[in-house]
Structure 1
Amino acid sequence: MSDQKALYLTEKHGAFVLGTAPMYKPGPGEILIRIESTGLNPADWAIQTYGMLIEKYPAILGIDIAGTVEELGEGVTRYKKGDRILTKGTIGKYERTAFQQYALGYEDTSAKIPEGLSFDQAATIPLGLCTAAVALYHDGVNVIGGTCGLTPAWEDEGRGKYEGRPVVVLSGAGSVGQAAIQLLKLSGFNPLITTASLSNAEYLKQLGATHVLDRKLPSEELYKEIRKIASKPLTTVFDAAGFPETQNLGYDLLASGGTMAAVRPDAVNPDKKVDDKKSFFMYADVTLPQNRKLGASLFGKLTELLETGDLKPNHVEVAPGGLEGIIPALEKLKNGVSCVKLVAHPQEST
């Protein structure tokens, strides 16, 4: 096969159009993946709407990849052809993105999909998990944005390390929030407080939340309720919404010496800022040199974490129509979905 189907964003603020892309050749330490399922993310529609992150057009977007190993690059020993794997794509590197039928991945930041987990379920995992992991557990060396600097939950010395310490995850029902809840549970945090629509409360408790508060409550009420639950100082807040109201609430909740991670650029009122409370905009790409050590550590344990149920995939809703079906699905995502990940099937495009 000399080429493949791909969905292109034609220009900044432009339209998506189905076209063809070349077949890629894996280099040393790389694998070629036949993409069976790709998860859709808010970043995908945000790039089109706001013209952010991408300068080279036409562009192939998409970050969450699940499929089978098609070809091995030199030196790859962890996988064989036909293995089911998942990996995170790289924005701006079009041979490593998900809105196409084949893409390249790195051996050390990919993981086998365990038996019993579908391609669709696997495609809900990479970006949300990597975003939470880098924000919470990076060692801080050359980190982009910032880090909470915790010991990684998947490493032996990190499991249960923070037992008895309270933590807050604002907006826990999205992919990033769900990943954060599960990792923080693995770290031992308790109470683990989150905000969400109350219709999602039982599910989030299954993931590890001890308390679920109605995200629609005014910030003042949420502040009071969280203070009642958390008897010890809050030194870690994870804002998976990133709106001005959630960032300001999270910052108010932080104790002296605490750190807040947020999924959007800083929106904390400058008048509130003090030297002994940190807040930062999280950056998820584990293929960057400064994040690669953490990414390799995480993906090295990911299959086991999924097998044991320590990490669970999101609920799935399949977007029909192959690559072209991504176009209306992104509109649906832009308008808002609750506690579900939209997933497309690139191989349905012929």
Structure 2
Amino acid sequence: MSLQQKALILPKKRGNFQVGSRSIPSPGTGQLLVKVLSAALNPVDYKIQHTGIYVTHYPAVLGVDIAGIIEELGEGVENFRKGDKVLAHGHFLIIDQGAFQQYTLTVATFTAKIPSNQSFDSAATVPLGLDTAIAGLYGNHLEAGIDPPWVKCVSGHEPKKPIVILGGSSSVGSYAIQLARLSGFYPIVTTASPSNEDLVRDYGATHFFDRRLSGNQLVAAINKVTDSPIRIVFDAISVPKTQSIGWRLLAQNGILILTLSASVKEDECKGRKVVLAAGSPHLPPNHELFRSSWTMVEKWLSEGVIQPNNHEILPNGLEGIIGGLERMRMGQVSGTKLVAHPQETQ
């Protein structure tokens, strides 16, 4: 194997992406060296480039959704072997762990084997979307009283609780719907474009509303779905409009889960809270939660309990990521995850 690889490099803050060469890293303790066959794109990737958020050290290699083949094991790694097909949650703050390169390091704890019923491309759509949904619903900071479904089986005798998921056809929204189903929520109410209604119902949504309805129309329609108070709204879009809708839907002491910074203000008398779904397993407060959830990923995918996102393959390897991120930034991608093949880079 060559000591050099091709990578999509962000050379400086708010710079332009460029394909270049860099050394193939060696795995340390608890790490795996993975040959990246599929890497999925996320909105955070173009936001980092355009706004300069999060990343402080350059050059950088972005991307966190990884699927590929294990090339080398680091010291202390168990339950994996060379040649295993895996998916993993990368780390764009560490250049050797970014997804947008031909070889990357992954943390074994946040890596899972790909079952035979899934492709590299479908597996690559899972890590960030699923982890963000898990953090939002089950993170310890929430104090929402939601037991993770892999820890406690939801009893059929427990009262059904409603949940609203705004943006159900997004990657995070789709996994939030599926986890809500696993956790026994009912009804599971979601919004999306009409063209994605069948998709979100396949994920487990019981009630669908057109996201293009006005705020007043959506609030009125959703409130007719259930007589029970809505104590959890997961806003997978988190723009000011959707945050406002979610906030208005919340009952007293309810929780609004966001994927972006809050634009609504918590009120003193009703006790409603706003929390941010921090979907990185690499954050120390998240280690315990994701150490346990990642042990379930292979089983969930194998049994069809969790369905990966629909996906579209980008041409031209790493070069194709540049145009794909621009399409996402322009709002030209819906209900689909864009996936690149780094090994096809010319």
The TM-score bracket by the shorter chain reads: over 0.9
Matched ranges for 1:47-126 at <5 A: 47-126=48-127
1:151 paired with 2:147, answer: yes
Distance verdict in 2 for CA 1:22–1:35, change over 3 Å: same
By how many angstroms is 1:202 displaced? 1.2
Amino acid at match of 1:89: G
In structure 2, what is the Cα distance between the partners aligned to 1:274 and 1:18? 53
In structure 2, what is the Cα distance between the partners aligned to 1:12 and 1:109? 28
1:287 paired with 2:282, answer: yes
Matched ranges for 1:193-212 at <5 A: 193-212=189-208
Q: Do the aligned partners of 1:162 and 1:189 also contact (CA within 8 Å) in 2?
A: no
By how many angstroms is 1:154 displaced? 2.6
SS in 2 for 1:291: helix
Q: Tell me which of 180, 184, 199 is aligned to 1:184.
A: 180
Q: Do the aligned partners of 1:139 and 1:149 also contact (CA within 8 Å) in 2?
A: no
Aligned position for 1:332: 327
Distance verdict in 2 for CA 1:122–1:274, change over 3 Å: farther
Q: Do the aligned partners of 2:138 and 2:148 also contact (CA within 8 Å) in 1?
A: yes
Give CA-to-partner distance per residue, 1:5-49, whole Å, 9 cap, x none: 111112111100111121111111111111000000000111111
Aligned position for 1:143: none
SS in 1 for 2:28: coil
In structure 2, what is the Cα distance between the partners aligned to 1:255 and 1:325? 45
Q: Tell me which of 230, 233, 247 is aligned to 1:251.
A: 247
SS in 1 for 2:300: helix
After superposition, the CA RMSD in angstroms is 1.6
Gaps of 5+ in 2: none
Amino acid at match of 2:208: V
Distance verdict in 2 for CA 1:254–1:32, change over 3 Å: same
Distance verdict in 2 for CA 1:262–1:159, change over 3 Å: farther
In structure 2, what is the Cα distance between the partners aligned to 1:147 and 1:64? 28
In structure 2, what is the Cα distance between the partners aligned to 1:66 and 1:257? 40
Aligned position for 2:310: 315
By how many angstroms is 1:155 displaced? 2.5
Distance verdict in 2 for CA 1:114–1:125, change over 3 Å: same
1:128 paired with 2:129, answer: yes
Aligned position for 2:9: 8
By how many angstroms is 1:281 displaced? 2.2
In structure 2, what is the Cα distance between the partners aligned to 1:156 and 1:183? 13
Amino acid at match of 1:204: V
- Taking only the aligned residue pairs, the percentage that are identical comes to 43
SS in 1 for 2:224: helix
In structure 2, what is the Cα distance between the partners aligned to 1:195 and 1:273? 28
Distance verdict in 2 for CA 1:291–1:158, change over 3 Å: farther
Aligned position for 2:340: 344
Give CA-to-partner distance per residue, 1:79-126, whole Å, 9 cap, x none: 111101001111211111101011111111111111020100001000
1:168 paired with 2:164, answer: yes
Aligned position for 1:23: 24
In structure 2, what is the Cα distance between the partners aligned to 1:153 and 1:262? 21
**Structure 1: which 4+ aligned runs deviate by more than 6 Å?**
159-162
Gaps of 5+ in 1: 141-145
Q: Do the aligned partners of 2:188 and 2:206 also contact (CA within 8 Å) in 1?
A: yes
TM-score by length of structure 1 reads 0.95
Distance verdict in 2 for CA 1:11–1:297, change over 3 Å: same
SS in 2 for 1:81: coil
Give CA-to-partner distance per residue, 1:247-294, whole Å, 9 cap, x none: 111111111111110111011156x56461101222111122211111
Distance verdict in 2 for CA 1:109–1:203, change over 3 Å: same
Distance verdict in 2 for CA 1:118–1:149, change over 3 Å: same
Aligned position for 2:256: 260
Distance verdict in 2 for CA 1:137–1:162, change over 3 Å: farther
Q: Do the aligned partners of 2:32 and 2:107 also contact (CA within 8 Å) in 1?
A: yes
In structure 1, what is the Cα distance between the partners aligned to 2:282 and 2:143? 17
Q: Tell me which of 216, 220, 227 is aligned to 2:216.
A: 220
Q: Do the aligned partners of 1:254 and 1:277 also contact (CA within 8 Å) in 2?
A: yes
In structure 2, what is the Cα distance between the partners aligned to 1:177 and 1:274? 29
